[in-house]
Amino acid sequence: MNNRPASPYANPHLAGIGLGLVLLAAFVVMGRGLGASGAFGSTMSWLVNLVAPTHAQANEYFQGYLGDGTTHPLKAWLVFEVIGLATGALLSGLLAGRARFTVEKGPRVSTGVRLVCAFAGGILMAFGAHLARGCTSGQALTGGALLNVGSWAFMLMVFVGGYAVAWFFRWQWR
Amino acid sequence: MMTPLYKYGYFGDEFSLIAAFVLGLGFGFALERAGFGSARKLAAQFYLYDMSVFKVMFTAIVTAMLGVTYLGWIGWLDLSLVYLVPTHLGPQILGGLVLGVGFVVGGYCPGTSVAALATGRIDAILYALGILAGTFVYAEVYPWIKDFVNSGAMGQVTLPQIFDIPWGLVVFAVVAIAVVGFWGAASIERRSGGNP
C-alpha cells in the first residue's frame, strides 16, 4: 500500500497501557468489556440465514443470534466494535507504514502450507472460543481485569495449550 | 455522575453502537501499535524470543484492573453492573487449551486476526474464514455438545469471592505477579537472543 520503511512497533508496556485504558473506557461507558469472537457468530448466523433461512432458524445456535427477526443480525454491539477494530488497526498500520499485502510466515514454510495452517487454526479457534464463552479479548483481557474466575482459568490454559504444541509447529515460524 | 453510563441510562441502544465503533477504533489502534497485526510477532511468544503478547496483555489487564478498582473505590463506577461472563470451569479449561493450540497453528486470535487482515495480511483473511467455518461446524454440532458446554455452572464469580480474599489483596497479588512476570519475560528474551 506504500513503500516507505515500516516504523518499529510501540513499546509493549506503552501499547498495553493504551489497550488497558480502552478496556477501562468500555467498562465505564458500556458496563462491558471488549470482544471479537461474538462478531463472527453474528456474521455466520447472518450468512446462513441468507442462504438457508429455514435451516438457520431451526438451529439453536444461529437462532440465538437471529432472535425474533425484528433486528438485523449484524446490528450487534460486537459487530460495530469489530468494524471499529479493523478501522483503527488500518489507521495505525497506514501511519506506521506497516499496512501491506503479505503473508506472515517463517522462512522455511511455503505460502500454501501457511495459508492452510491459518485456516485450520481459525477452525480450532472457533471451537475454543465457543467452549470458553469468549476469546482472548472477551475472556482473557476483559475477564482478567475483572478478576473473573473462568477468565483466569481460561487464560492459563491458552498458554499451556500454546506451549504444549509450539515445538511441533516451529517450522512454520522460525 | 455514576457509571457505567449505558447501564444508568445516559444513552440508548442506538448510541451504544457508535460507542462500540469508537471503542473498537482504540482497540484496533492499540493492537496494531503493539505489533499484533503480525502473526510472526504473536507466535514468537510461544518460542520465547519476543514476549510482547504477555507484556501487552498483562499491562492492559493491570491498567484496567487498577482503573476499575480506583473508580469503584471513589464511587464513580458500580462494578456490580459490569458484565461478567459466567464461569463454567470444565468447558473453559478445554476451550483455553484448544484456543492455545489454534493460536500456535494459525498465528492469531479473533481480535488480532481482524487487525491483521485490515492491514493486508492474507493469512489473517484465511484465518478469519477458518473462524467462520469453525463457527458453522460448532453450530451444527451444538445440540450434541450442549450439555458439556453448559456443565459446571458457577455463575458470575470473581477470584476474591471464590477464595474469600479481599478484592484489594487480589489486585495487589496480580500487580506483584505482573511485575515479576515482566522481569522474567525480559530475562527470557535476553537469554533467547531477542527477536531476530
On whether both A126 and A83 belong to a single domain, the answer is no
On whether both A66 and A21 belong to a single domain, the answer is yes
Which tens digits make up the pLDDT trace of A46-78?
999 999 999 999 999 999 999 988 899 999 999
ipTM of the complex model: 0.96
Per-residue pLDDT at B1: 74
Model confidence at A105, pLDDT cuts 50, 70, 90, reads very high
Nearest CA in chain B to A154: B96
CB-CB contact of A161 with B97 (8 Å) = yes
Least Cα distance to B104 among A62, A156, A173 occurs for A173
Residue A173 lies in a domain: yes
On whether both A80 and A112 belong to a single domain, the answer is no
- Say which of A15, A125, A145 has its CB closest to residue B109: A125
On whether both A96 and A114 belong to a single domain, the answer is no
CB atoms A128 and B100 under 8 Å = yes
Per-residue pLDDT at B194: 64
Residue where one domain finishes, among candidates A100, A126, A154: A100
Which tens digits make up the pLDDT trace of B93-149?
999 999 999 999 999 999 999 999 999 999 999 999 999 999 999 999 999 999 999
On whether both A82 and A116 belong to a single domain, the answer is no
Residue where one domain finishes, among candidates A74, A100, A126: A100
For B178-191, what is the HEC assignment? HHHHHHHHHHHHHH
Per-residue pLDDT at B192: 84
Grid coordinates in use for B189? 528474551
Whether residue B44 is predicted with pLDDT greater than 70 in this model: the reply is: yes
Residue A168 lies in a domain: yes
Per-residue pLDDT at A5: 80
On whether both A131 and A51 belong to a single domain, the answer is no
CB atoms B47 and A62 under 8 Å = no
pLDDT, average across residues A93-103: 96
Residue where one domain finishes, among candidates A73, A100, A127: A100
On whether both A137 and A161 belong to a single domain, the answer is yes
Per-residue pLDDT at A6: 86
Give the residue from B45, B49, B61 with the most A CB atoms within 10 Å of its CB, the best one to mutate: B61
Per-residue pLDDT at A3: 59
How close A42 gets to chain B, by Cα (Å)?
10
- Tell me the domain boundaries of chain B: 13-191
> Per the structure, how many domains does chain A have?
2
Residue A135 lies in a domain: yes
Instruction: Specify the amino acid at residue B11.
Output: F
On whether both A76 and A131 belong to a single domain, the answer is no
pLDDT, average across residues B160-165: 97
Whether residue B191 is predicted with pLDDT greater than 80 in this model: the reply is: yes
On whether both A14 and A44 belong to a single domain, the answer is yes
Residue A148 lies in a domain: yes
For B49-118, what is the HEC assignment? CCCHHHHHHHHHHHHHHHHHHHHHHCCCECHHHCCCCCEEHHHHHHHHHHHHHHHHHHCCCHHHHHHHHH
Model confidence at B195, pLDDT cuts 50, 70, 90, reads low
Residue A2 lies in a domain: no
Residues of A in contact with B178 (CB under 8 A): none
Query: What is the Cα–Cα distance from B135 to B120, expressed in whole angstroms?
Result: 23
Beta-strand runs (E) in B5-137: 87-88
Number of A to B CB contacts under 8 A, please give it: 524
Give the residue from B71, B105, B146, B174 with the most A CB atoms within 10 Å of its CB, the best one to mutate: B105
pLDDT, average across residues B74-85: 96
Least Cα distance to B145 among A96, A35, A131, A170 occurs for A131
Rg of chain B over CA atoms, in angstroms? Answer: 19
Q: Which domain holds residue A80?
A: 8-100
On whether both A88 and A17 belong to a single domain, the answer is yes
Residue A1 lies in a domain: no
Residue A138 lies in a domain: yes
User: Full-prediction pTM beyond 0.90?
Assistant: yes
On whether both A114 and A52 belong to a single domain, the answer is no
